[in-house]
Structure 1
């Protein structure tokens, strides 16, 4: 009976040791996960700051566009559409030029 009790005690000590090792490993994993979360939070905060900065620039650009449109007697949207049309025209001209150059090179 005594040998069984001693063997049981040894087994329990081994189990407790394994449990302690498992707890330590789990704690380490939790700490690493916390570090990863903090790193990701810092990255996210940086991206949020950049988004806020870009939103500010966009608001400033829209304000300036609207001021210019007011001076020209148009609305900001009219000015935007005019700029879009000019851009489309430039793209069309560039496309035609590229077609002409390609055709000339083919000859």
Structure 2
């Protein structure tokens, strides 16, 4: 799991994952979207692929990348207790604000 967090620490990698949520894309689309060089995007894709967050398939001369959401379930599970804490805090704030109406 630490490697997933390390991979997600980079904002360009998170942006690549955001783009890939809509479906698979060739490298050139990602280069245009991110306004980075092709070698830089390829480097980020390699890191994401090694972490299991994206997978690639060949289509003739193109390589198409797509998101693999399964590794993100680890991150979601780790965040779950914090999410519950935030929800309790927000519920307490809502109760306090409702009590101020009268």
Q: TM-score, normalised by structure 2?
A: 0.32
Q: TM-score, normalised by structure 1?
A: 0.31
Bigger share in helix: 1
Per chain length, whose mean CA-contact separation is higher, i.e. which structure has more relative contact order (CA < 8 Å, sep 6+)?
Answer: 2
